[in-house]
Amino acid sequence: MSGSKCVRLTGALVKQVLDSVDSVLFDCDGVIWRGDQAVPGAAQVINLLKEKGKKVFFVTNNSSKTRKMYVDKMTTLGFNVKEEEVFGTAYCSAMYLKTVCKLQGKVYLIGSNAMQQELEAVGIQPTGVGPDHISGKQADWANVPLDPEVKACGGGFR
């Protein structure tokens, strides 16, 4: 936005901003926690927002955990969180394939165990999980049997 400038959030401005919104989205890694430690004050602020009636959601582009794994981590760090408030890429990918693509078939997955679990949770069968069954030489690729039930490919590790 041209002409915009940063403004220090004072108590009055924080109240004005919070009074104007119903929902707040927070990124996770590096924003509300770093590694296995909550950012000081993050859990208290988020829990207070919820107590004040704000809807709070957590979003992350990290596909290494299921929503349940995130809830477990966040609960340990002091956050009051429910599974339906967490939107990670593993879950969102599975839901997109199921609800938007209406996928009828398997997904060839190159990704984390969390992605596998989220696909299975919505009734999509992942395949390709685990070690490759070929040597890695290009000449071997032509002999790899293709599964005709695979209708999509998915990938993600972090």
- Catalytic: which of 22, 27, 72, 132? 27
Give the active site residue among 29, 132, 140, 147: 29
Is residue 152 within 8 Å of residue 101, measured between CB atoms?
A: yes
Strands (E) located in 8-105: 23-27, 33-34, 37-38, 55-60, 86-88
- Annotated active-site residue 27? The verdict is yes
**8 A C-beta contact, residue 60 and residue 112:** no
- Residues catalogued as catalytic: 27, 29
